[in-house]
Structure 1
Amino acid sequence: MTDITASATGDHQVAGDGRAGRPPPPPPLTQVPASRRRTAGEEARTLVAQTNVATLATLSDDGTPWASLVSYAALDDGSPVLFVSTLAEHGRNLDRDPRASLVVAAAERRKDPLAAGRVTLAGRVTRPSGEIERVARAAYLASVPTAAMYAEFGDFSLYLLGVERVRWVGGYGRMDSADAEAYANAEADPVGEARAAITHLNDDHADALLIMAQALGGYPDAETARCTAADRYGLDLMVGTPRGSAPTRVGFAEPVTEPAGLRAATVELTRRARAAAPVAG
């Protein structure tokens, strides 16, 4: 009989010792200052703000699920705006049954698409009216400019998805849920995916990343460090030590409030790491 034990993520079960035969990462040698992370609501709002394409799941008249590729916009509270035609099955489905869910996925440029972030928003659609309809229509046309060509077609209807459940997955072993209130009150991270910034840090500032890992990340024995992710609160690093490789995180002094603020926050983090580094000799 296969031995099944819960892994450290709490969401998965894996066979054997829970580590797929790999040794655990070496622990930090020094105390790592607490670093804030994005909540599930913030992760979801950030993904929703990054694109305008999603997979819409609706219910057909016989009760079977039906998935379709759609464009969308989002209001200030994150509510997705859909503009669909009854010539399409998903349009007829929404016209009959308001239950729906939307899957928004981050573009994945690596070999494994399941390592990318994605979020499922589930709830019920309504047809907006009055001022809300005007705002929703304007948001959709701003997000999907080509919609102006069919905005007045009689078979198209505007819908708002009232989000009731949120499930965010950040890749393997990273997942969490948020309720409707937490999602609506969260903000999209102005840093976004920061792929260009991460590449720049790894290509041109490996020395600074290494000092961060050594002085602030808990690994004074680190020999290498690469940035694997960046957000408004800090940087995720993968460090290489004589004891093996391990992930760590270093936090910014203050949250980044605009896209251009990531550079200044990283410069401040580098200065702080250099100041905290032990003096050689």
Structure 2
Amino acid sequence: MSVKFKQWLATCLLLASGITAHAASTKDCETLTATGNSEYPPYLWREGTNNGLLGANRAIMDEIGKRLGIEIQLVDVGSWARAQETLKTGQIDLLAGAFYTVPRIQYMDYVYPAFLNTTSVVWRKKDNALAYTKQEDLIDKSVTTVINNSFGQAFDEFAKDKLDLQYVTSLEQALKMLIHDRTDFVLYEKNPGLAYADTLSMSDQINALEPAISSEGLYLTISHRSACNTGTLRGLLAKVVQEMLQDGFMQEALQQSLKDWQQFSQSRS
């Protein structure tokens, strides 16, 4: 066997193995796994029966999968901190909703544009006389939020430099601290805060204050360690997100989920 023939044969075998590997990879990526913040109504909340999640982001993930012809399995992996960790380590492919921050781009790619926008506010007990008219009013106060929560790059930097934040594992815990005067303020998003306050019968005891501390886009992201993270997939995801924004699907999903959460919370009371 000549040297040239051996080289040609080796090249053919290499190409064949590459084609096989690509085919296997494509097949594997017909199903993607996703997770998100499971205490985040009306965007996401625990179904309570089958380790599943409900909400606007669930409807959006299902529709993205339908339009792309792939299955997106949205699962509850626990806390928001745990959800981010599973994406960081590549155990999960997609995160169904995250703000943009510089630390997060170290381990995940953002799909543009944002599929929804959400506002974060300062929560205060109604009988608390402490003033809040600007973010500087939070300095030297007792302020609480949820572990690994973000309010966008600008406010995160302010909080890191100026505030002594307390972190708890859930929004419910933070709001109960507020009610029992164990913290002056709670930082969290407006819609999920309103939803939980209603569920916990706290709506008449706490206020969402103005001005908001941030208004941020909610993005679909994909793990750097996902075997399915390719330029092709990111391009397809971006295209379908844009189409869904243009045809109004995102806002329809949000409005429907506001109604669904109300029914869900009433059924539990």
TM-score, length of structure 1 as denominator length: 0.23
Higher helix share: 2
Question: Which structure has the higher relative contact order (CA within 8 Å, separation 6+)?
Answer: 2
Q: Which structure: greater strand fraction?
A: 1
